[in-house]
Chains A and B, each alone.
Chain A
């Protein structure tokens, strides 16, 4: 079953065709929490693999790698978005389905840029950081 509709797939292929550098989706599988009731009777790990492998088929510079319980993942399934195959600390925990698939696609496109799309002021503020900062954004598929 395709992961995107025809029009969406065409658009995503265009975006992935413009990646300026290779991007790897590193999928981490492992023990999963019992999801909230009503979240659906899904094998979240298997769906994560299907989703990421499906996206990787839409771009020559996008690859997908799957590992069981790799280091650095606090929860499973997870996918790390890695420009040039490097861990840069950008991750999606849980299955990015529904509208959240757009977040994963957006993350891939951003990782594939030569330069970040953030404003000059934002980049300057981030360059001035003298400590590590961890930002977690809780979302739900809609």
Chain B
């Protein structure tokens, strides 16, 4: 599953996940990192 989530419209969820900068990437409910990364690095980080 993959979703883009507009942080300002869901402030409670954003607060729970500590969203202070975007993009914030959350994998299986756990915040992992902030910021855009190249495709290969993105895959490496989400598949760890």
List A residues at the B interface (Cβ < 8 Å). 32-36, 38-39, 44, 75, 89-96, 100, 103, 118-119, 121-122, 125-126, 129, 132-141
Contact = CB atoms under 8 A, between A and B. Distances in A.
A14 B3 CA distance: 26
A92 B1 CA distance: 11
A101 to B, nearest CB: 11
Given A39-B9, A125-B43, 17 more contacts: A33-B12, A34-B11, A36-B11, A90-B1, A94-B10, A96-B6, A134-B28, A135-B27, A135-B46, A136-B3, A136-B27, A137-B3, A137-B5, A138-B5, A138-B6, A138-B23, A139-B7
A137 B47 contact: no
B31 to A, nearest CB: 9
Interface residues of B, number: 29
Contacts of B13: 33, 75
A137 B8 contact: no
Contacts of A75: 5, 10, 13
B11 to A, nearest CB: 4
Contacts of A125: 43, 47
Main secondary structure of the interface of B (DSSP, over half): mixed
B27 A134 contact: yes
A139 B47 contact: no
Interface string B4-48: 111111111110010100111111110000000001100100110
A96 B4 contact: yes
A139 B22 CA distance: 5
B44 to A, nearest CB: 8
Contacts of A136: 2-5, 25-27
A107 to B, nearest CB: 8
